[in-house]
Structure 1
Amino acid sequence: MAGFFSRPIFLRCKKLIFKGFLFYIYGMKRFLLFFLFLIHSNLNAQIFDSNGKFNYLRIFVDTDDFEADYLDNLESSLEHIYQDSLRFMIINDLGYYYHTRNLHKSLEIINRGLEEVREAENNIWEGRMQVSQGAILLRLEDLDYAELVLLSAQEKMPEKESWLLLTNLGYVYERRGDLSKAFEYATQTLQLGEKYKDKKAMAMAYSDMSNLFWKQGRFDKGVEYGLKSLALFEQRGLLDLDFDFTLHVLGNNLVELKRYEEALLYFQRSAIIGEKYGFYNNLSDTYIALSALYNQIGDFENAEESGKEALKYAELLENDFMVVRSLLCLGKMKNEQKDFESAKLYLERSIRTATDDFGDIYYLGRIYQELSKAYEGTNNINKSLEAHKKFHELTQQVFNSEADQRIAQLQTEMEVNQKENTISLQMEKLKQQATIQVFTLILTGLMIFFLFFLYRVFIRRKKYSLLLEKQNKEKEFLLKEIHHRVKNNLETISSLLSLQTAQINNQELQNIMIESQNRVQSMGMIHQNLYQGENMTAIEMKQYFRNLAKYVIDSFDATERVTFDCAMDSLELDVDRAIPIGLIVNELITNSLKYAFPHNSQGKITITFSETDSHLLLKVCDNGVGFDKDKGIKGTGFGSQLVDLLTKQLDGNMTLITTKGTEVFFEFQIGKAA
């Protein structure tokens, strides 16, 4: 039998060992990959491992807690990410934010990402990446292709996410000089943001409007909308590319209003953010704006330094649009210095860089405007006139009455729509307040009714309680009166017995009558304590024993020679037990007085009484001559019979000890009184 099973078991063991080895190799591979990932990734802010699964804190969405190398870290981590949705998200973010540093690399990353999402047939991520692709293309001045890509993405994107697509379509038309169309897209972005309560979308819309108002020369409006945008960005609590851009847009408007100190603060803040995260395009924009500011206040040294910084970042970005604008700001600065030859060199280089395909008519017009001034300064009147005509022609394309009217109309419609929304919100709030007021009134009425009901119940209960209290007092009074009358009746019986005893000459009969009188008195004392005390159902036994002993000792005229000690704590006992125990104690004290102290000798009687969990313990003893069992019971023996009967009635046991005087010990079970 053993030989039959040995080979299959061996083969199974080999298979198990081999599988275990494979799992080990797989686990080690996963560990090594993760270890390499840890080395190359910024885990504090971007990607981290949770139970073997990578999680990604999106840059400028979930966190901004990283340094300028965040794109390098994100790129190095990408080779270890294989989960489709996470990988697509990282590629898209990487490509989009690389456009702030290197437009060509940014486009290369997005194109590679588009190949992956198309192979995976993921339309939504294809649309998202096309939006990033369009944003890069328009910054490369390929405006027509950018528009086609963005329009293609529009049918793939969920409406809630399409605000960035609309924003970039607005940029396309802004670059073309169609400011009214750009304003339309900004308005659509704002409406979308309001619809989905998206603060980023609303902030972007206000930022773009601020920039468009600046280009129109409506600087007060530009400041108003720029401040609206910043307020929304700050509510998000993230420093990102668009927040940075809005700071310098607001600064541009303030410069034109000659509020230079305020503008300088916004530009400096924008530069700090741009330096931290490597936003080369924004840095170039900001330094262009700083150059214009210093130029206006006559600080040409800082103006030139800022213009060269702008050119440096534009060239790092390889963005001809930013290079053109940087050269323009340097040319304008040289014109202000009256250095027309240098101005001409910068401006002619700007025109060459722009080429004939340059899409932004607004900036192209400003280049020709400054070039006209430079030619005029070098006395080249013909070229100056030619450049001025070109400037006028381009300006007419951007700032025509039809475009101005369209922007004004859109602005009016937007403001009316916002006011209508505000009125609707106020009306809704008023309706809510009215509903709350009605509800409050109803609730108050119900509360008043409920309180009134409770008050009525309280009054009725109070009356009932007073009635019960009165009845209890009446019953208590009647019960006390009964106990008082019983006590009086027992005293009457005791008195009758006393009168009868006085007429008897036989000493033995007199003793019997006195004992009977004491028994009646012991019961009378019980009822006296009940009607005089506060508790109508229980007797305090210590005081009762003292009173009983005093009475019995007095009846035998033994006060001077016999002392009594009640060595016990205060203890209450119900009537059913108190009466038979009182009779027992009466009999034992009486026996001690009759027999323990012959010839009127001195003596002492002691009682102890206590209660345990289930028993009552009573001990009555004297220091007399003791009880001689051999001589038998003295007298009639009635007292002994009575004690025995009462002990049985209480389901107790009696023990007699006669070594030193006489000691009688009783043990009664609690709860078994007759």
Structure 2
Amino acid sequence: MLGALGAAEAEPMTPLLAPLEAARLRAQLWHTPTGPTRLRLLLQLADDLVARHEELATPLDSAASYGRQALALSTRLADPAGRIRSWYVLGQLPEASSAADTTGRAALRHGLRLSQQLPSPALEAAGWFYLASSYPRTTAGLPRKLATYARAAALFAQAGRPLEHAYVLKTMADMHLLQGHSGQAEQELLRVLALYRAAGHRELHYTYDLLRGATRQVGNYQAALRYGLAAVESAQATHDTTSIAYLYASLAGIYKELNQPAQALAYYQRALRHAQLGQSAAGIAITSVAISRLLLSQHQPGQALRFLQTLAGNPHATNSAVYLSCLVDCYVALGRYAAAERTVSQLLTLAKQPATDDMARLNAHLAAGKFYLATVRYAEARPQLQQALELCQSAGYLLQAASLHQLLFRADSAQGRFPAAIAHFQQYKRLNDSVFNAARNQQLASLEIQYGTRQKEQNIALLTKQSLLQQTRLRQREQQRNALLVGAGLLLLLLGLGYNRYRLKQRSNRLLRAQQAEIAQRSQELARLLAEQRELLSEKEWMLREIHHRVKNNLQVIGSLLHTQADYSADPAIQAALEQSQYRVQAMALLHQHLYQADRVGRVPLPTYVQELAVHLLDAFDAAARVRLHLDLAPLALPVAVATPLGLALNELLINSMKHAFGPGQPGTLTLTGRLLAPSTYLLSVADDGQGLPPDFDPSHTHTLGLTLVTGLSRQLDGEFALLPNPAGRGTVAHLRFLVASPTAA
């Protein structure tokens, strides 16, 4: 789950030495006597070992020895630049950074002081860069890292070093991504691209990959996919195989989030093949776990577990939180809860170890929280999810924070912690809406159309160039023929004129065919524009339906919360008030359900809506078996502005009949009629044959909430409301007369 959240693949500031080149330099060092050349070789080899350790996690080997030798030799040769670089090497070593305030950063600051005394802006900039890299990538450490990186970037620009300047800006953009500042990171990365291109730098795939992460973080999958493809193309063009597996996996992650499992699996398999070719145990483990999670998302837990078990001999996988958390999810999906709980215990033990990083702890607590949720152990799930949320917020992972708020909402709701549950649900909606775009698949389709259009434009441009070249050659040939015909006799001149007439006729025919082709092309373009217009209208209608659907879902959540609160209340008056509110919310939810299910968006078919509302209330009052429902409603489709107050008013009238017309167990009939009195007036009546109105009942002096609501809603409809004895003899009839602008048959 967290594989797609990691920072983009890094690259060293200076290119790594090829293995053969490094071996050649080591052999040269062995035979080089004391002097400037030996100092240069020591520093070059030490820098490469440190960069390779940070990039590929390879052993440092002789880096510390090279650094100490370089420091002693540069001091003996009185080479200030060599001394500064030697201090920088020693300050970057892991044994120094473990006690950074006394050893590593002290060495870096000493080198900085020497560079300022020299002075050398480029060496000073490198020192600030290494010092910034020594600060932790945490919420507290990021501001200090960024401020120090900014000093390095300014000095590299002052020293006229565009490649190093661009590299530091790219590193700052990576930090801004961790803070969730995607827009700022994107602007910095576009500036980095401009600097690299101006300097002729070809390895742009690391920058493209960061742009993929920035645009994906704000839900712009169209741009993210474009940058991901550009990163792969750049890596292939420059024959950089060290990061190609990661770049393929990043593309697979985008397709997975776009719900394109076939494309995602294809790119994951490419990533796995490259990781196997490069014999990268960590890469094989991470990609295999990603494939297993993809299979889990496709509801194939057995296949996912079998694929995961192929990593049994890989210690980089079986001892990692990513592998164990995926194993927990597979066991839970298969119902093997005992095995899942044993794996959760391993995860929590791993999280407590001091050497475990924050990402592994986040995976461990998240997997434990999801397992406890799945096994209905909410009290144990909540602290695990809370710890995962704190780690996620500390690292700035907005996407995972939204998912954790949703899981905490489930845990708090199940435990009856409704204020906390609502707060988590609001945080989930805020983060989810700020990160994701609801039209993911539409963006993908748009991108494919753009790629197709670009390809067509390129083909048209190529054909145009070929046509111009052909016309140029034809004109040259005609000139040559005319020159030969001038030197010939009269007969040849006549033959040439006849041939020229023939060529003119052919040219006219070509022009005519070109005009016909242009007309056909414009016709196709017009047809395409009409199709796009229809697609936009269809998309608008879909969005309206989706809005009504979401409103209905939210109203149902509110109704469920009211029902739950009523169950927990011991006061009958409060229970009755909550039930009344629940009926009103259900009436509005039913209205929005009809809005997104109707053939015409924005119109509610009145007979169907009234029938479903009445049947729902009969079921709610347990009266469906004894109260017969009779409907006689003229077909009418109402707009939202009329249907909403009308539905609420009808809800109050039906509830009033259920509560007061019929006694406990008393049978009866509830009649709902509706007809058009005039082209723009509709009369809706609710009649019952129950107990009727009390003899001293006066509607004008009755201030119950239900009748007050009906009276107010009738005014909102520019209508009239009356409550009268049933002229049929028994019971009560309520008339609601209202205006309907442009009535439409249902």
Specify the TM-score bucket, using the shorter chain as the normaliser: 0.3 to 0.5
State the TM-score, normalizing by the size of structure 1. 0.43
Larger Rg: 1
State the TM-score, normalizing by the size of structure 2. 0.40
